[in-house]
Structure 1
Amino acid sequence: MTQNDLLNLNYSCIDSARENMTRLLEERDANYSLPQPLYNDPYLFRIDMEEVFQKEWLFVGMSSEIPTKGDYFTVEIGQNPVLIVRAADGSVNAFHNTCRHRGSRICLEHRGKVANLVCPYHQWTYDTKGNLLFAGTEMGDGFDMKQHGLKAAQCKVAGGFIFICLSDQAPENDFEEFLATLEEYMEPYDVDNTKLAVESNMYEKANWKLVIENNRECYHCAGSHPELLNTLLEWDDTNDPRAPQDFLDYYATQAAAWDAENIPHQHKSFGHRNRIVRMPLKQGTEVMTIDGSQGCTKLLGRIKNRQLGSMRILHLPNSWNHMQSDHFIVFRVLPISAQESLVTTKWFVHKDAVEGVDYDPERLRQVWDATNDQDRVLGEENQRGINSLSYQPGPYSTTYEFGVINFLDWYSQSVLSTISSFSKTK
């Protein structure tokens, strides 16, 4: 078999995978888990990467992680290394982390600070706007440096959240409306005056969709998350159909206190993809620490009320977040393979807070370290069971697992839409 034969066979396999995915999504039972191949097949995973993670807006990090010129961090979106850098004019830019000479990665560390971006292979040098500054005289007199700047990825910042899109045709829909609301709801926290206190990275041997599904319900919480339930109320939001009257009364009391400080809290949804809602924590608790007491002596931004609850921010396909009075926590999920995902958790505090004096990083992370590991075990066991010959899709509870149903509806509609667009352009 020739190399061209192998290449054509590969293309044929991918086309077949697209057709198979289309059929599975169109024929799937509503309110049921997905057919097995959508959780473990390498070819369908590749379609997920191409149609979701290379086309959707992805949360990658917070602007306060790169506060000054030349600060950067890197992220891997499948096989696409990307760098996020603060330019001299203060703007946040995203570039494909690959040199325009021979394709080597430029920034090799997870985060750092540079005057310029220098490729370690042959020292091609770019500024923080991606312009090529130096390529050496070896390239000859006719070489046009202006044609060899770094390839940019689309990048938007709102409320301190950095989103990137690897596609030239980024989906809009209601994304701009979500960003405007995010800017408004994040204003009290003054993210520019926060700093990264601690970060964790956890590899989970489970498909990325199983990671998100687990996050979108608390049906499992009572049996799995004792540390988290010291402070967290199980209701997903103020529209949760299970929420009893005593919770609604408690929410109303808390909301009145938030209104007094002009703290936004009304539920805001943007389809199934984006949602913002402020929820109270258990009575008598302040933040998500092991005992519910303060995590940092310094409050964030203009906040004065320690009982601010948790403002939950959902962004599909890869992030959920908890904004609290004295620190906030952001979560990012990135697929590694059909059965492996990377879950990154970051804790932020006021930039003037002193470690060991105002906050203890180990105490900040205690609850979510335990919860993340518990979820890892649940996800991995879920994956192992799904891999069984006996697996068939099972029903979700429309009350306890409505968040999972919403996620899979969004996923199915999004993938079918992009596959259809792809087919029309062939």
Structure 2
Amino acid sequence: MNQNDLLNTTCATIHDARQEMATMLEARPENYSLPQPLYNDPLMFRIDVEEVFQKEWLFVGMTSEIPAKGDYFTVEIAQNPVLVVRDADGSVNAFHNTCRHRGSRVCTEHRGKVANLVCPYHQWTYDLKGNLLFAGSEMGESFELKEHGLKKAFCKTAGGFIFVCLGKEEPEGDFDQFLSTLEEYMEPYDVENTKLAVESNMYEQANWKLVIENNRECYHCVGNHPELLNTLLEWDDTNDPRASQEFKDYCKDQAAQWDAEGIPHEHRSFGPGLRNRIVRMPLKKGTKVMTLDGEAGCKKMLGRIKNPQLGSMRILHLPNSWNHMQSDHFIVFRVLPISAQESIVTTKWFVHKDAVEGVDYDPERLRLVWDATNDQDRILGEENQRGINSVGYQPGPYSETFEFGIINFMDWYSETVQKNLKAK
């Protein structure tokens, strides 16, 4: 088989896989898990990457991670290296982290600070807006610097959150409306005056969708998350079909306190499958934040917040993030795919920028609950993946009361992929 024959065979295989995926999603029984190939097949994973992670808005990090000119961090989105940097006028820019010379990564560290962006391979130099400044006389007199700037990725910020999109066009929808609400709801935290206290990266041998599915239900919590349930009330909000009257009354009492302080808390959601969702929920009575004993994790509260019992403002962004905003620290989670059966879950804890480690907060104490919870979820996800790989697997039903969050996710995933496949 020559090279052209191989290329044509590969293209035909991918084309067939795309049609197969569209057929499976269209035929999927409502409120059931997905067919096996959508959890473990490399070709189906490639399509997920192309139609979700290369076309949709993704959460990558927080603006307070890059507070000053030249501060940057890097992230790998399914073999797509991305660079996020703060420029001289304070804007946050995202670029494909690949040199316009021969494609080497420009920034090789996870985070850092630079005056200009210099590729270590041949020293091509870009400014913080991606313009090529220097390529050397070796390129010849006819070489045009302005035609070889770094390729930009779409980038938007709101309430301290940074989102990027790797697509050729911005996705349609109500994302800007979500960002406007996010800006409003995050105002009390004054994110620009926070700092990253600690970060973890956990590799999970499971498809990215299984990671998200596990997060979207607490059906498994009682049997698996003792540390988390010291403080967390498992109901999603007062509309949760399992919510008791006692819980609703408790929420009403807490809401009155939040209203008195001017803290937004009403449930707001946007997009199919509630893909973007914000709601503030109280924690268990007598607890303040998600530490093992429920007591403060940091002595300095965030922004203009005065009430230590602020509960947790839960922010969901599909396909790759969930977050908990509390009175004295907040926690953000990012999921990115690596392969058909491997994902990376990044967790970051933020505190007031003036908080002193060892005096105002202890990183180990701050992270204990979610380190334990993440590892428990990793084991669950990996066992889920192993079972799905079996010849005995067939899609099973979701509970409409305990697993409605997964149903919402699957509705969003199915609708989004089918729409993007048809747009080809």
Q: Give the percent of matched residue pairs that are identical in Structure 1 and Structure 2.
A: 80
Q: Which residue of 2 aligns with 1:257?
A: 257
The one-character-per-residue Cα deviations of 1:364-394 (angstroms, maximum 9, x if unpaired) are: 0000000000000000000000000000000
Q: Which residue of 1 aligns with 2:277?
A: 275
> What is the correspondence of 1:210-289 to structure 2 with a 5 Å cutoff?
210-271=210-271, 272-289=274-291
- Residues of 2 paired with 1:169 and 1:143: CA distance? 28
Q: Which residue of 2 aligns with 1:99?
A: 99
CA contact under 8 A between 1:205 and 1:383: conserved in structure 2? yes
Answering whether residue 135 of structure 2 is matched by residue 135 of structure 1, we say yes
> What is the correspondence of 1:22-421 to structure 2 with a 5 Å cutoff?
22-271=22-271, 272-421=274-423
- Residues of 1 paired with 2:238 and 2:11: CA distance? 47
- Residues of 1 paired with 2:171 and 2:287: CA distance? 39
The one-character-per-residue Cα deviations of 1:220-264 (angstroms, maximum 9, x if unpaired) are: 000000000000001012211110000000000000000000000
CA contact under 8 A between 1:329 and 1:347: conserved in structure 2? yes
- Residues of 2 paired with 1:52 and 1:297: CA distance? 40
- Structure 1 counterpart of 2:369, which letter? V
- Residues of 1 paired with 2:90 and 2:43: CA distance? 41
- Residues of 1 paired with 2:42 and 2:170: CA distance? 25
- Residues of 2 paired with 1:171 and 1:401: CA distance? 28
- Structure 2 counterpart of 1:292, which letter? G
- Residues of 2 paired with 1:293 and 1:8: CA distance? 62
The one-character-per-residue Cα deviations of 1:17-46 (angstroms, maximum 9, x if unpaired) are: 101100100001101100000000000000
Secondary structure of the structure 2 residue equivalent to 1:332: strand
- Structure 1 counterpart of 2:207, which letter? N
Secondary structure of the structure 2 residue equivalent to 1:98: coil
- Residues of 1 paired with 2:221 and 2:296: CA distance? 23
- Structure 2 counterpart of 1:253, which letter? D
CA contact under 8 A between 1:238 and 1:267: conserved in structure 2? no
- Residues of 1 paired with 2:194 and 2:4: CA distance? 54
CA contact under 8 A between 1:74 and 1:81: conserved in structure 2? yes
Any stretches of 5+ residues in structure 2 without a counterpart? Answer: none
- Residues of 2 paired with 1:112 and 1:282: CA distance? 39
Secondary structure of the structure 2 residue equivalent to 1:363: helix
- Residues of 2 paired with 1:276 and 1:369: CA distance? 23
- Structure 1 counterpart of 2:389, which letter? N
CA contact under 8 A between 1:320 and 1:332: conserved in structure 2? yes
- Residues of 1 paired with 2:32 and 2:228: CA distance? 27
> What is the correspondence of 1:9-28 to structure 2 with a 5 Å cutoff?
9-28=9-28
The one-character-per-residue Cα deviations of 1:313-361 (angstroms, maximum 9, x if unpaired) are: 0000000000000000000000000000000000000000000000000
The one-character-per-residue Cα deviations of 1:267-312 (angstroms, maximum 9, x if unpaired) are: 0010221000000000000000000000000000000000000000
Secondary structure of the structure 2 residue equivalent to 1:4: helix
CA contact under 8 A between 1:84 and 1:95: conserved in structure 2? yes
- Residues of 2 paired with 1:171 and 1:260: CA distance? 38
Secondary structure of the structure 2 residue equivalent to 1:304: coil
- Residues of 1 paired with 2:13 and 2:101: CA distance? 32
Please give the TM-score of this superposition, normalised by the length of structure 1: 0.99
CA contact under 8 A between 1:116 and 1:126: conserved in structure 2? yes
**Superposed displacement of residue 172, structure 1:** 2.9
Any stretches of 5+ residues in structure 1 without a counterpart? Answer: none
The one-character-per-residue Cα deviations of 1:157-188 (angstroms, maximum 9, x if unpaired) are: 00000000001212131101000000000000
Secondary structure of the structure 1 residue equivalent to 2:176: helix
- Residues of 2 paired with 1:172 and 1:20: CA distance? 25
- Structure 2 counterpart of 1:263, which letter? I
- Structure 1 counterpart of 2:329, which letter? H
- Residues of 1 paired with 2:345 and 2:6: CA distance? 35
- Residues of 1 paired with 2:10 and 2:399: CA distance? 39
- Residues of 1 paired with 2:138 and 2:214: CA distance? 54
- Residues of 1 paired with 2:237 and 2:394: CA distance? 30
Q: Which residue of 1 aligns with 2:7?
A: 7
- Residues of 2 paired with 1:2 and 1:135: CA distance? 38
Secondary structure of the structure 1 residue equivalent to 2:314: strand
The one-character-per-residue Cα deviations of 1:31-71 (angstroms, maximum 9, x if unpaired) are: 11000000000000000000000000000000000000000
The one-character-per-residue Cα deviations of 1:140-159 (angstroms, maximum 9, x if unpaired) are: 11110000000000000000
Secondary structure of the structure 1 residue equivalent to 2:49: helix
Question: What RMSD, in angstroms, separates the aligned Cα atoms of the two structures?
Answer: 0.5
- Structure 1 counterpart of 2:324, which letter? H
- Residues of 2 paired with 1:237 and 1:205: CA distance? 31
CA contact under 8 A between 1:335 and 1:341: conserved in structure 2? yes
- Structure 1 counterpart of 2:113, which letter? K
- Residues of 1 paired with 2:384 and 2:27: CA distance? 23
